[in-house]
Structure 1
Amino acid sequence: MEQRAIRALLEQVANGSVPVDEALLKLKMEPFEELGYAKLDHHRGLRQGTAEVIYGAGKTPEQIAGIVDAMRAGGQETILITRMSRQSADAISPSHPFVYHEMGRIGIVGNLPEPDGVGTIVVATGGTSDMPVAEEAALTAQALGNQVTRLYDVGVAGLHRLLSHMEEIMNARVIIAIAGMEGALASVIGGLADCPVIAVPTSVGYGACFGGLSSLLSMLNSCASGVSVVNIDNGFGAGYLASMINHLEGKHA
């Protein structure tokens, strides 16, 4: 159950529309649900502010569909499914509002929430080949309630392409810089922006890139301050972290 749902339940108790015992029963049933192949963590949203995300890789289409059914039955409005195949997407019940984004291998059950983050998250890529990882990051951020601006194919091989978007870079609350090859984009953006930069190395590149290791090491050794790095191809991790940063001011207001 999300924090918003808990708050709404407590307000219903306060105004007398929901009996105390009924509310207590709902909360008692929340910690986790045993599905046999998964233990669904209903308290994730209460603890962390974000409901459990379904990692699709390695799960059967039937398992993913079953988890979605249980989450919807538990009142979850928006469900994010990462690394989802088309086959798994086809197994989702037609009774659920659902959109599959093939580029980012992301499935979203329910409607995207209205953005409630402090500012805008910019997602920038070195090249078009980095777009699958970028879409995973961007859609994750959107599903978590953030305004997202996409700047694709603005890598250092044509630096003028990036510099033509200085307004978006300067106005960003968080920037996710995604690049393969030598991974230089993160350092360049880190030297321009006054906000946190989350670098995502991708496995895009020729043989000597070692499946993304070259860009990972370049980003870890960035001379620009304020650049942090997530794992190779981890668009989800970058989008999630960017969302946490973008919600910090509202959390403590």
Structure 2
Amino acid sequence: METREVLQKLKNGELSLEEAEQYFRRQPFEELGYAKLDTHRKVRSGFAEVIFCSGKTDEHLLSIFGKLYEEEGEVFGTRASKQQYEMIRQKYPETQYDEVSRIIKIEKTEKKRAGKIAVCTAGTADIPVAEEAAQTAEYFGTYVERIYDIGVCGIHRLLSQIETIQSANCIVAVAGMEGALASVMAGLVDKPVIGVPTSVGYGASMNGLSALLTMINSCANGIAVVNIDNGYGAGYMATQINRLGVKTNPL
């Protein structure tokens, strides 16, 4: 339960004072032996803990997934395999999986999404990383505009969408190859741009290092850069920025 939910139940008489007190006396994590689930994270940061699924054993992943679902009423995991999804779905049939972004989740259906961010890609090969960013932001309550395949080799495609892009509280620019999209975006908008280099490209792209260096060395102002293929980090940061925008300009 969330802090507000506990207090509301106490107010309504659904919890006793002792039960509410016991909730707040809990240590701010749950010890599983092989993992320490940060059940206090949403209270501190506004974002519940997310599971990085890759590399986890089936036993550990299933337990962590279930514990977080029990705690939050929803759960979100990144870099999940189809096999991991099939394993979890046997116990939690309501689990959803997206093969493009490799996101696995159980999400509250009544969730509202506020503000707006634009998630843009240079090419269609960048969409898996972009979808990780977009779906992360949506899970955390952000409205997302997807604008894909607007790379700099056809700049008219980007310009045809410029009004939508400029209206967003934050722009996520996902690009491999030389990674020029982030610089172009930052020169056209008055909002923060989050550059996401991807590992898309031929040999000298060095699995995304070329795009990473381009974005870090951009002469355009207002660019923040996350790690190669880190769509989750971009979606998280974009949501933080969007929440500030929503507070400044209430819907």
Q: TM-score, normalised by structure 1?
A: 0.92
Provide, for residues 48-84 of structure 1, a one-character-per-residue CA deviation record: whole Å limited to 9, x for no partner.
Answer: 111100001110222211111112222x122110011
Match of 1:7 in 2: 4
2:68 counterpart letter in structure 1 = M
How do 1:1-253 residues align onto structure 2 when only pairs under 5 Å count? 1=1, 5-29=2-26, 31-74=28-71, 76-92=72-88, 93-95=90-92, 97-111=94-108, 114-117=111-114, 119-249=115-245
Q: Give the C-alpha shift of residue 249 in structure 1.
A: 4.8
Gaps of 5+ in 2: none
Whole-Å Cα distance in 1 between the matches of residues 170 and 27 of structure 2?
A: 33
Q: Give the C-alpha shift of residue 115 in structure 1.
A: 3.5
Whole-Å Cα distance in 2 between the matches of residues 176 and 114 of structure 1?
A: 22
Which SS does the other structure have where 1:216 is aligned? Answer: helix
Which SS does the other structure have where 1:107 is aligned? Answer: strand
Q: Is the 8 A contact 1:169 1:175 kept in 2?
A: yes
Moved over 4 A (4+): 249-253
* Aligned-CA RMSD value: 1.7
Which SS does the other structure have where 2:56 is aligned? Answer: coil
Q: Give the C-alpha shift of residue 212 in structure 1.
A: 0.7
Gaps of 5+ in 1: none
Q: TM-score, normalised by structure 2?
A: 0.93
Q: Give the C-alpha shift of residue 11 in structure 1.
A: 2.4
Q: Give the C-alpha shift of residue 27 in structure 1.
A: 2.3
Which SS does the other structure have where 1:176 is aligned? Answer: strand
Q: Is the 8 A contact 1:98 1:107 kept in 2?
A: yes
Whole-Å Cα distance in 2 between the matches of residues 90 and 61 of structure 1?
A: 11
1:144 counterpart letter in structure 2 = F
**Number of equivalent positions:** 248
Whole-Å Cα distance in 2 between the matches of residues 110 and 67 of structure 1?
A: 16
Q: Larger deviation: 241-250 or 224-233?
A: 241-250
Whole-Å Cα distance in 2 between the matches of residues 235 and 222 of structure 1?
A: 20
Which SS does the other structure have where 2:24 is aligned? Answer: helix
